[in-house]
Chains A and B, each alone.
With several copies, the nearest count.
Chain A
Amino acid sequence: MKKLINDPATVLADSLVGVAAAHPELRVDHENRIVYRGTPTRAGKVAIVSGGGSGHEPLHGGFVGLGMLDAAISGEVFTSPTPDQVEAATKGADGGAGVLHIVKNYTGDVMNFEMAAELSEGVNVETVVTNDDVAVEDSTWTAGRRGVGVTVLLEKIVGAAAEEGLDLQAVAALARRVNDSGRSMGMALTSCTVPAAGKPTFEIPDDMMEMGVGIHGEPGRHRVPMAAASSVAEQLVAPILADLDFTGGPNIVMLNGMGGTPLIELYLMFGEVKKLLDAAGVEVARTLVGNYITSLDMAGCSVTILKADDEILKFWDAPVNTPGLRWGI
């Protein structure tokens, strides 16, 4: 395992030291592993709180700041934070108007945030569980779909809505609408290496790739032969378009890197995705190309498409000032 770390056991703590050093405008609670904005939540503003396992940076800590999250809680690598961490963030971020929990749909995340909400007496908590990954079939008999790329777009959009003064019910309703309007699909060329595991999560030959991966270095739904970027784009876009109709209005499209794939390839992939969307009559109104929700050093990418409308685009375009996403300010 080749990593720039001191000790697999202290990766998260050491990295948060760097976050605090690099971002004096944020406040890091090292004990509870929470990144807060530098100033407390404005009285009357709904607080937006998210979190999950580490290893997906800049998600979530890199999205704390004006116009996006009020607090982000980090668990160990790929391990949901614990209820008391989430409870601390919930109480710490509440500005009296309640707290929205943004939770990616993984059993661990859902359970730990659920317990935290139970513990957070006195705070009005609403929860949105993102589940946008079309690689997984939706069913009430299973854990359902994973929450992936839509989480990034949702944090931006509801962050702006909260900033504008929408109340908790309205913010939560918007969050659910955004989640329902977005779909994602991911793929990997390589596995990642979890520091504590010390070796790649899976082995894969040079001529194969994994289609339908999530963001935890897990194998995907299918192992298929390596293919040209144009074909990879098709394998990502087709299941998304088959799952929801994105025509007839503007969309926000994210081409996300898994952490180990350089920008030159991500832009190349976006070019291929754009061609397919143009051909399918899917209007691309806003784009995001880069590493936003990653899986440590995994090579690969994912595509997220979100059906937008005037309200969603207004909140998307609103100012945001976080380490990972910044504009208008």
Chain B
Amino acid sequence: MVDVSIPQLVDWLSRFRDLVTENRAYLTELDSAIGDADHGSNMARGMGAVMDKLGAATPATADELFKTVGMTLVSSVGGASGPLYGTFFLRFGTTAGAVSQLDAAALSAALHAGLGGVLARGKAEAGDKTMFDAMNPAIEALDAAIAGGADVAAATSAAAQAAAAGRDATEPLVARKGRASYLGDRSAGHLDPGATSTAYLFTALAAATA
């Protein structure tokens, strides 16, 4: 089974930055419908800062790399997505450890740790209409693929598909967490912006590990 190298992990982040930047207006439009019209700006600002930081000096090990990523997000984004994505990457890095590559199992473990961070911070449950609803099925699909013998590329591809499906499944939901919850029933009928950016996160991962 092929391992995921540091350059590939950086490529993941770079592709994620590209996706949120290209879709900045779209993410903000989603956030306009059920939030406060800043998710695109927030993600583009945050991932822009991350790539600037990595451009200056790329750490050689996963723990340092993702500590930088998480800290940069935490200190440049704000809002709900800053601490959530920030904590995701911080815990991802801690669990990945001082390594220069991740095998499928290590990748899965790091993603689970990241998800745990999102849960610890946001306390969302499945169906609350948050990024959790894209992240959790993505990691489940990755695990299932690995369990079924898939390689990293196939597993991340399955994760990306599951994230997209999870994102789409947020549309009919009535939000119970985050800003969209204030809308009550009016939150139904719209994709969750955070679930949408999380789908990009897994699309980027799949592309970087393809």
Contact = CB atoms under 8 A, between A and B. Distances in A.
Interface stretch (A40-48, A73-81, A177-185, A309-317): A73-81
Interface string B35-79: 111101110010000000000000000000000000000111111
Nearest to A214: B182
A111 B122 contact: yes
Contacts of B40: 196-197
B84 interface: yes
Contact of B83 (A85, A112, A137): A112
A107 B74 contact: no
Interface string A171-196: 00000000000000000000000101
Interface in B14-41: 28, 32-38, 40-41
A218 B32 CA distance: 7
Given A111-B80, A221-B186, A83 B28 contact: no
B193 to A, nearest CB: 12
Given A82-B78, A115-B74, A143-B178, A201 B121 contact: no
A106 interface: yes
Secondary structure call for the B interface: helix
Contacts of B178: 107, 143
B183 interface: yes
Secondary structure call for the A interface: loop
Nearest to A144: B181
Interface residues of B, number: 34
B87 to A, nearest CB: 8
Which one of A83, A107, A194, A197 has the highest number of Cβ atoms from chain B below 10 Å of its Cβ? A107
Given A108-B83, A112-B78, A219-B186, A142 B36 contact: no
B126 to A, nearest CB: 13
A113 to B, nearest CB: 10
Interface in B116-166: 121-122
B40 to A, nearest CB: 8
Interface string B66-108: 0000000011111111111000000000000000000000000
A131 to B, nearest CB: 11
B78 A219 contact: no
B28 to A, nearest CB: 5
B7 interface: no
Contact of A76 (B78, B177, B184): B78
Contacts of B34: 218-219
Contacts of A106: 80, 179
Contacts of A112: 78-79, 82-83
A108 B80 contact: yes
Contacts of A201: 32, 36-37
Given A194-B36, A194-B37, A202-B32, A81 B182 contact: no
Nearest to B32: A201
A83 B37 contact: no
Nearest to A113: B83
A216 interface: yes
Contacts of A143: 176-179, 181-182
A135 interface: yes
Contacts of B80: 80, 106-108, 111
Interface of A: 53, 75-85, 106-108, 111-112, 115, 133, 135-137, 141-143, 146, 194, 196-197, 201-202, 214, 216-219, 221
Given A142-B181, A143-B182, A214-B182, 8 more contacts: A53-B78, A79-B82, A82-B82, A83-B75, A106-B80, A108-B79, A133-B182, A221-B184
15 contacts: A79-B78, A80-B78, A80-B79, A80-B82, A81-B78, A108-B81, A115-B83, A133-B182, A136-B181, A137-B184, A143-B179, A196-B37, A197-B40, A201-B37, A202-B32
